[in-house]
A and B are shown apart, each in its own frame.
Chain A
């Protein structure tokens, strides 16, 4: 079945440093979504990428979707303490036998040292 791998698992950065998390799918995706989950909270939608090679920006966050639609990345410039949380990618694609589902990566837990 479809697998989505995300690295790194953990990242500790000094406030002001940049941060990047990478996501790779075992199969070609129809689209990819990114979510942020604060400690003790629930996932909150950040963005969706649909087109091959797509790049989207939200203030200090830059999201990319690979040309083959099998990988994606999230880059945060000049991290702030408010960026703390776990960032998940979720790929939408076929899980076999005509079934489609959203498959989440294991997430990257970001800690920001003030």
Chain B
């Protein structure tokens, strides 16, 4: 039973560029949430997707956007990268749409993004 997978594992970009990160949820899960974890900090909620729609959103600018596909996998897109976007980006999958954040979240290994 595959857990949550994310790609790529590491990424280096320059300011102003755009990046796409990918996530495949744990088998049987239909809800995907994305988090940004800066060094030494706790994960910060970016948004959550269920049924291919953004259901909840944290306090992140519109430069952060996402998508969920019919197979429940998801992408996180960040435009006009800033130095401050350097962080570990975590994807978490869970069950129970709408109440997904009530349930145990399974985190992927993350994508380490460095913006130069």
A interface, CB within 8 angstroms of B? 1, 6, 30-31, 33, 35, 41-45, 48, 50, 88, 90, 92, 95, 99-107
Contacts and interface: CB of A to CB of B under 8 A. Distances in A.
Contacts of B33: 102
A96 to B, nearest CB: 10
A50 B104 CA distance: 12
Contacts of A105: 42
Interface residues on B, range: 20 to 34
A101 B58 contact: yes
A42 B108 contact: yes
A95 B41 CA distance: 19
B46 to A, nearest CB: 10
A104 B59 contact: no
Contacts, number: 57
B104 A48 contact: yes
A98 B31 CA distance: 19
Contacts of A101: 45, 48, 56, 58, 101
Please name the 4 residue pairs, one residue from A and one from B, whose CB atoms are nearest each other, closest first. A104-B42, A42-B107, A45-B104, A101-B45
Interface string B92-108: 00000000011111111
In this complex, the member of B42, B57, B104 whose beta carbon has the largest number of chain A beta carbons within 10 angstroms is: B42
Contacts of A92: 101-102
A88 B42 contact: yes
26 contacts: A30-B102, A31-B102, A33-B104, A42-B90, A43-B43, A43-B107, A44-B107, A45-B104, A45-B106, A48-B104, A50-B102, A88-B42, A88-B43, A92-B101, A99-B56, A100-B56, A101-B45, A101-B48, A101-B101, A102-B101, A102-B105, A104-B35, A104-B42, A104-B44, A106-B40, A107-B41
